[in-house]
Amino acid sequence: MAVNLDKPHLWKADITQSVDMYNDWFIRFAPQAFRETRLQTTQDVEAALRATKNLTHVDPSILRMHPEILPTLRMSACPPLAVDRLIGLAEVPGSLVKRIENRKKLPVRLRGPQLDAELRKIGDIIERMADPDIFVWLHRDEPPTETEIHRSATAGNGIKFNAMPPGTFHFHMNVPVTLEGGKPINIPVDAVVMPKASRPGDLPLLFEAKSAGDFTNVNKRRKEEAAKMAQLRRSYGNKVRFNLFLCGYFDSGYLGYEAAEGID
């Protein structure tokens, strides 16, 4: 049953309330909300901590040996750093960071001291912005305890999204899909809920949470959710239930575009 995609007569009031709620939240809670956006798997976080001596030694040699830990290092910052934000803050070539992120490999042409110089800039930003509320040992003389290291890594149990028991939910879960050319990729989904009344073979509800501080950017990016929906349907059929949980500046043009794609 549709919640809102078939009720455009309610959208105007919804939009007004959504904008007001976003503005109120931003003024009162934005700094706290940034600090709460930190979920990573225990295995990745603990591996990154071991490699970087608990985020005290993010030097070029570490990133040379373990380029795959860069996404985890970005998420260790407060607020977590998007790829483009890291590129800008570190003042490094975008191609360098994106190759490490997408292919887990170092660049072919950039080598030697020049590569080390760029990796050192990345490491400096990570060390400076590491979240002291999670990595509580960063500003003290005593080394971290094993309990503190484990606590700093949020655990995941590895369960597949379509094998969740009824009445359970997960945050920040990867959903595997297949692209048109047959290439498998993972789509990150903010919240996955398997209703209590689900039967064997049912798919869970998928929720993407989004907020926006202006109307312009959301309409530039509204195709992103439609592309996700198309990929999900291609992989799992028309029974996929992909929903948006929105707050902020989403106008009727955005809502209508997503509703036309079957997104509630």
Kindly list the structural domains of the chain, giving each domain's residue range(s) and its CATH number in brackets, ordered by start: 8-34+158-260 (3.40.1350), 42-151 (no CATH)
User: What is the token pair recorded at 145?
Assistant: 């305890």
Residues of the chain below pLDDT 50: 37-40, 154, 156-157
How many distinct helices (H) and strands (E) make up the chain?
11, 4
For 106-119, the pLDDT digits (tens) are 988 888 999 999 99
Q: Among 222, 220, 229, which Cα is nearest to 246's?
A: 222
Helices of type H across 68-197 = 70-75, 83-90, 94-103, 112-129, 146-151
User: For the chain, what percentages of helix, strand and coil (3-state, to nearest 5) are there?
Assistant: 50, 15, 35
Q: What is the pTM of this model?
A: 0.50
Name the token pair of 25: 């939240």
